[in-house]
Chain A
Amino acid sequence: MTVYKYFIKMALRNKWLILSNTLLFFFFAIINTSGHIQEEMSFIETKLNIGIIDNSNSPLSNSLKDYLESKNNIIDVSPEEEIIREQIFLQIVDAVVVIPEEFEEKVVSKEKVIEVYRDDRKAESIQIEHQIEKFLLFANATHEEGKFDLNAIKSALSEKVNVNMIRDGSRGIDKGTNEWFRYYFNFTAYVTIACYISVIGLVMADFNEYNIENRRKISSKRFLRFNKELYLGQLSLAGIITFIFILGSIIIKGKYIREINFNIYLVNTIVFSFSILCLTFLINNITRNKFVTNCLSVVLSLGTSFISGVMVPQQFLGDKVLTLAKFFPTYYFVRINDMQTSSLLGVKNDIFMQLLFGLAFLLVGLYLSKTAQEV
């Protein structure tokens, strides 16, 4: 087990790398405990100034108008597109919602029905789209025998809020705690990617260095056994780092873990850690250059964390960005944390996606390592 032993030894010699990442992480985690989240919450609740142009004037469109009115301030706007854009530009309104003719039929056939002009400069304006989506979701759900059950929609929309309030109230935790765990675990994504790629990558680059690799090749150590020890080392290192993060959350907010869906965070973090380990394996088979490895570590950790909603919540990111993010496991990891659900079944798809990515990374990595050996 000398290979295993020295793998771990050399990995821990990069402690400044691990430490600086982890310390930075905990620094943010602790800062996050105060203030920040409350702000986030309150701006989610902001009432926006919106205009509604109803070309349908149907019971369903009126119901939607009522709902939006309950959440926002309604402002009169002209139906002309140019004027709408100008008013948004001048910040007279934050968003304008255009309901088309034949609204009800279009809802049934699930076309993209409602046009929303909104102020991209104002991140909160996205909430209008969420509100509309939510309304349409319920509308479709109540559609039966060619009719919408407007009362059911209404009560569903308001009940949801009530349920939330009751739940929060009865459990006696503020939303902030939930949010804290969400931020904490979301942010582990960034540190996990940065640490795995850089630390494991750097040590593997040492083991794979041409001359040192040659010494291994002429030795009587079997290649399979050598590799087993290296991968065991990587797994152990990943285990240690994941364990530190989980332990960290327990140390900082341990008394709340019974009140949140800690199991989901746990499973999610472990699955994500696995998929990133597979990614590291792939990268180690693509490049042995320490500089490239370091660059990849920075680019992938920062880049994917950003587009996947670690720094800025997913709801504030544009569609294009999110579509891009779907090509990386971080997106699914963050999505699970953001769901704040208690059922493992509810997150199984996103868990599955992460495992799928892990598997894909592994297979491509294996393929590359096979072809590299043949040369």
Chain B
Amino acid sequence: MVVKVKNLVKRYKEIIALDHFNMEVDEGEVLGLLGPNGCGKTTAINCILSLLSFDKGEIEVFGKKMSPDAYDIKRQIGLVPQEVSVFGNLTVRENIDYFCGLYIYDKNLRRRFVDEAIEFVDLKDYVKFYPKKLSGGLKRRLNIACGIVHKPKLIFLDEPTVAVDAQSRNFILNGIKQLNEEGSTIIYTTHYLEEAEMLCKRIIIMDNGKDLVSGTKEELKAMITTSEKIIVSFSEIRDETVSEMKKLPHVIDIEKDGDDYMIKFENGFNNLTNLLEFIKEKELTYTKLHSQLPTLNDVFLELTGKELRD
């Protein structure tokens, strides 16, 4: 176990930012910490890294109790903070070199690491630029380079793709995959479902400072009752017919959105066949019909009663 957090409680005066939060991270995995803005992701990371004190709980990193002067543990950790945190008065290369210098004292090794980090985030053409001359996406890449230049075994990335164009975002996500393939354990926080789904082997869903559930995305989706959604557009349908449709086997609920009806089924056989037979029997005409597997949004919705999207 690389990181173990047990019953972590953190208050900011009257706000409870973390409420008995738990987390376990295995070596070599990409763990996603998924939750809406303000749910406590950054606070959790800052507590784990001893940047914040906390009220209750236990934190272990690499099997040892984490503390501000656990320098041997810190040597293995990299953080890409949510805010772009670099010196405005230093160039791209100097920034990366400075932050590398906080870990690596050997000059030659440092030069090599800095070169590799620049290569990794593809900022070769910008090494002499000052941060304010960089676009948002490039700034984010610089931010990442500064956090991973010392080749840490455990990397925390706090929403590294916020306010980034699609191209840079893909570049960043692929880079993170690469870091993981090279052996780093990754803890990735985000409020974007797609990113968590695409990148993370395991996901912890957070809300209001609590860890709601954790597991692989398949495990998470299996946890909820809705397992299939079928969306049909009827040109004309009476309310009684809809009520009758609700009585079909495995139907949980039907939501109406204009002409579209979303029919939610729980796990079971022949859901689509049953529906099609019902349509034929009632001589209904439909313009489109498609089936959807549940998303993490459905998981979140069912767990919290609200949507995860902004």
Chain A residues engaging chain B, CB cutoff 8 angstroms: 2-3, 5-6, 9-10, 13, 203, 206, 209, 211-212, 214-222, 226
Inter-chain contact A218/B101, CB cutoff 8 Å: no
A10 touches B74 (CB 8 A): no
B86 in the interface, Cβ–Cβ < 8 Å?
yes
Q: When chains A and B are docked, how far (Å) is the Cα of A10 from the Cα of B94?
A: 11
Chain A to chain B contacts (Cβ below 8 Å), 17 pairs: A2-B98, A2-B100, A2-B101, A3-B101, A3-B102, A6-B87, A13-B89, A206-B89, A209-B85, A211-B83, A212-B86, A214-B81, A218-B49, A218-B74, A220-B72, A221-B102, A222-B71
Question: Which of A206, A215, A219, A226 meets B81, CB within 8 Å?
Answer: A215
A10 to B88, CA, bound (A): 10
Of B46, B90, B103, the residue contacting A6 (CB under 8 A) is B90
A2 contacts B86, CB within 8 Å?
no
Q: In the bound complex, how far is the Cα of B74 from the Cα of A226, in angstroms? A: 15
Distance in angstroms from B277 CB to nearest chain A CB is 61
Contact of B74 among A2, A203, A219 (CB under 8 A): A219
| Distance A214 CA – B46 CA, assembled complex (angstroms) | 9
Q: Once the chains bind, are B71 and A9 in contact (CB under 8 Å)?
A: no
Top 7 nearest A-B pairs (CB, nearest first) are A2-B101, A211-B85, A219-B102, A220-B75, A221-B102, A220-B74, A220-B71
Name the distance in Å between B195's Cβ and chain A's nearest Cβ: 22
Neighbouring A residues of B88 by C-beta, 8 Å? 206
Most chain B CB atoms below 10 A, which of A10, A13, A218: A218
CB of A203 to closest CB in B, whole Å: 8
Within the assembled complex, what's the spacing in Å between the Cα atoms of A144 and B89? Answer: 70
Total CB contacts across the A-B interface at under 8 A: 69
Quick one: CB contact mask for B84-114 with A, threshold 8 Å, 1 for yes?
A: 0111111000100111111100000010000
Does B146 count as interface, using CB distance less than 8 angstroms? yes
Residues of A within 8 A of B87 (CB): 6, 10, 206, 212
Q: Quick check: B94 and A216 within 8 Å, CB to CB?
A: no
Residues of A within 8 A of B79 (CB): 214-215, 218
B51 within 8 A of A: yes
Chain A residue numbers with a CB within 8 Å of B74 are 218-220
Q: Report the Cα distance A222→B77, complex, angstroms.
A: 15
Q: Are the C-beta atoms of A214 and B85 separated by less than 8 Å?
A: yes
13 additional contacts, CB 8 Å, given A219-B102, A220-B71? A2-B101, A3-B101, A5-B101, A9-B94, A13-B89, A206-B88, A206-B89, A211-B81, A212-B85, A214-B81, A215-B79, A216-B102, A218-B49
Q: Are A9 and B101 touching (Cβ within 8 A)?
A: no
Question: How long is the Cα–Cα vector from A222 to B75 in the complex, in angstroms?
Answer: 11
Once bound together, how far apart are the Cα atoms of A262 and B100, in whole Å? 46
Q: Complex: how many Å from CA A217 to CA B51?
A: 7
Residues of A contacting B77 in the complex (Cβ-Cβ under 8 angstroms):
218
B102 touches A214 (CB 8 A): no
The complex places the Cα of A219 from the Cα of B101 at a distance, in Å, of 10
Q: Are B51 and A214 closer than 8 Å at their CB atoms?
A: yes
Q: A219–B50 Cα gap in the complex (Å)? A: 11
Tell me if B183 is interfacial: C-beta within 8 Å of chain A. Answer: no
- How far apart are the CA atoms of A6 and B90 in the complex, in Å? 8
Point out the residues of chain A lying under 8 angstroms from B98, CB to CB. 2-3, 6
Q: A residues within 8 A CB of B63?
A: none
- Please, which residues of chain A bring their CB within 8 A of the CB of B85? 209, 211-212, 214-215
CA gap between A6 and B87 in the complex, in Å: 10
Chain A proximity mask over B9-39: 1 for CB below 8 Å, otherwise 0: 0000000000000000000000000000000
Say whether B68 faces chain A, with CB atoms less than 8 Å apart.
yes
CB-based contact A6/B94 at 8 Å: yes
> Closest residue of chain A to B79, judged by CB?
A218
A218 in contact with B51 (CB, 8 Å): yes
Complex-state Cα separation, A10 to B85, whole angstroms: 16
Contact B103 A219 (CB under 8 A): yes
- Chain B hits for A9, CB < 8 A: 90, 94
Name the distance in Å between A218's Cβ and chain B's nearest Cβ.
5
A214 closest partner in B (C-beta): B51
Cα distance A5–B98 when bound, in Å?
9
Report the separation of the CA atoms of residues A3 and B90 in the bound assembly, to the nearest whole angstrom. 12
Query: In the complex, what residues of A have CB within 8 A of residue B49's CB?
Result: 217-218
Specify which chain B residues have a CB less than 8 angstroms from the CB of A10 in the assembled complex: 87, 89-90
Contact with A along B32-67 (1 / 0, CB 8 A): 000000000000001001110000000000000000
**A215 adjacent to B90 (CB under 8 Å):** no
Most chain B C-beta atoms within 10 Å of own C-beta, residue among A13, A216, A220: A220
Chain A residue numbers with a CB within 8 Å of B103 are 219-221
Q: Tell me which of B71, B89, B99, B110 contacts A215 (CB under 8 A).
A: B99
Q: Which residues of B contact A216 (CB under 8 A)?
A: 102
Roughly how many angstroms separate A5 CA and B107 CA in the complex, as a whole number? Answer: 13
Which residues of chain A come closer than 8 Å to B101, judged between CB atoms? 2-3, 5-6
Chain A residue numbers with a CB within 8 Å of B46 are 214
